Structures are given as structure tokens and as C-alpha cells.
Amino acid sequence: MLFCAAVQAERIKDLTSVSGVRTNQLVGYGLIVGLDGTGDQTNQTPFTTQSFMSMLKQFGITIPANAKFQLKNVAAVAVHAELPPFAKPGQTIDITVSSVANAKSLRGGALLLTPLKGLDGKVYAIAQGNLIVGGFGAEGRDGSSVTVNIPSVGRIPNGAMVERSVPTAFGNNGKIIFNLHTPDFTTAKRVADSINDLLGPDVAMPMDSTSIAVQAPQNAAQRVDYLSLLENVDVRPGEAAAKIIINSRTGTIVVGEHVRVSPVAVTHGSLTVTVREDVQVNQPNAFGDGDTVVVPESTVEVTEESGPMFEFSPGPTLNDIVRAVNEVGAAPGDLMAILEALKQAGALKAEIMVI
């Protein structure tokens, strides 16, 4: 069971992002060379061979169309990266390289020159470099194998150089718009009030539960100083809605501070059903004419453990709920069932979110 921390003042920088200041996704297709026989099986991946031959043609090397060869040290890969906001030509960014065919491992390989394109089809960066792979695998002649992590994916720190910057409309319309990470009308109003208390009335105006528009100077240098001042303003965010988040895979349950339960009595118990199958063999006498018969015999047992009943007083707090559930020894799975039952009975004043 996890608990939500008390609400404290936070900076606008931590609560919001600036409209127009965002990363952009880049993707490319390339070849990894220099592998130790762990590359693509080109008889099953003809596009790897086609890519390699196309690369050789760019260097003036022509291979007959009917030539057959194995490229065990070459692998076709997809390359992707995030282009940070305001990235300028000449800067470098990290890239991730992933096998797109049946290469067993990319360890020890090097990525050849690969253009990275944006959604508009333009090239924004060029990637190349030696790959760092965190996983590895080993295989014996009898077919046994061991794999640690994922050897078909790797990274190249600073592996791509930016060739084109992305234009941005940051503050060009005379306004800076802050977008809350978590939409909330109360928090939006408090952000606007905090800015107006610092700079004067009507400087900031909440547009909805997510966006706050702030008047800004036209000069770019002044906008940077202006934004540096605003993002360090302290704001007390609005209190979160009553919510319970349940991770059904791990059994983790997070209960919000404002969860309340109406007066209700709850009992907790368990029902166990055991089915056992036995076989009885009936065999005739030594001089009899009968046949041996196999007769199945089933035994069904039902065991029900009675659990203690506990009562929630009117409007119990989070601590009261946790204490009462712990007293009956409910496991995380049992607690999920109790919360669902309270929700169905209309006694739980919170939203249940299962992830």
C-alpha cells in the first residue's frame, strides 16, 4: 500500500510546459556492420541484401544481380531519436538502434551513415557510430542458450549530429502559454493568480483547465529573461481528486488522500474448493471370466474460512481505511475485491482506476 504525499508549493516550471517548446521524433533506416557472425540471415531477409548492394553502388561497386552471398556480419536496423527543442545544427543527440530482421546480436557493431527524418520527410540529423549493447547471448551446440537483457537493441550516445533546426513559434504572438501537465481548474487559476500577484493584474489569464496565457515582450532576449522569472514562481497546486489506482499485474494499490467511505460493515473471508481425482481398479478372481475395470473416483472438498467483520465510521480517513484492512490481514488481491465491493455498494467516494 502506498500513500500520497501532502500538497506543497511547487514551481511553475515543475507543473507546466511552455506551448511550442517540445521535442520532435526522428526515425531512419540503416545498416550495422562488423558483427561477429550474429547478423541477419540474408536468405530470409532479402531487404538486408538489397540495402547492402544499394550502399555499394553509391561507392561505385557493382555486384551482379544473380550473385549469391551471405552477410552474417551485417544487420538491417531502425534508428530513432528525439530532437530537443531549439536544437541547432552541429549539436549532437543520443540515438537508439533496433534490429528489424533476425540478427541475434548487435554487440560490437557499427552503424553506417544514416539520415534521420521527421514526420515531414525532411532530414534533421545524420547518425553514425559504434553501438553500445547492454545485453548478450550464448548458445551451445546442443541447442541450449542463455540470453541476458536484449542484445538486438543498443544505443549510441551523441551518435547523431543535427543538420537542421526546427522552426518554433515560441512567443511570436505576444503571449506565452503554459500547459499544465495535469489538467485542473483550481491549479490553472492559482498559476494565473500567482503571476498576476507578481507582475500586476490581467497579465495572466487561464484559458481552460490546462492552459494559462501570459502577456510577453516581443524581443526574444527579453522573452528569455521573462520566462526565467515566471517559471520559478511558486504555486500551490489544487488538491487531486479522490482516486484509487490498482495495478492488477503487481498488486500495487495507491489510495489518494481524499478517499472517503460511508458508514458500512465489511467481512472478509475465503472459500477454497479442492477436487481430487483417484482411480480404483476392480480385478476379477483368478479363475473368473470377468474383465479388469478401471473406475474413476472423485473427491470434492469445500473449505470456507470465516473472516472477522469490521466497521467504517462516517467519513473515515485514509489511515482509518488502511488500518481496518490490515487488521483483517487482507492481501493486495483481497483489498482490490473489497474496494470494488464498496464501490458497487455506493459506499466508496472515489474513482477506481485499474492499470
CATH class of 2-20+170-235: alpha beta
The pTM of the whole model exceeds 0.95: no
Label residue 111 by pLDDT band (50, 70, 90). very high
The CA-based angle 232-235-239, given to 5 degrees, is 145
Per-residue pLDDT tens for 281-313? Answer: 667 666 666 677 766 665 656 555 555 555 555
At residue 242, the pLDDT reads 75
pLDDT value for 197: 92
- 8-state DSSP, 282: E
Residue 193 — φ and ψ, nearest 5°? Answer: -65, -40
Domain chopping of the chain, boundaries: 2-20+170-235, 24-162, 244-354
Q: What angle do CA 89, 119, 167 make, to 5 degrees?
A: 40
Weakest mean pLDDT among 28-42, 96-110, 274-288: 274-288
H helix intervals, 241-353: 318-327, 332-344
Name the band, by pLDDT with cuts 50, 70 and 90, for residue 331. Answer: low
The yes-or-no verdict on residue 110 having pLDDT over 80 is: yes
The residue assigned the cell 473368473 is 288
- Per-residue pLDDT at 159: 94
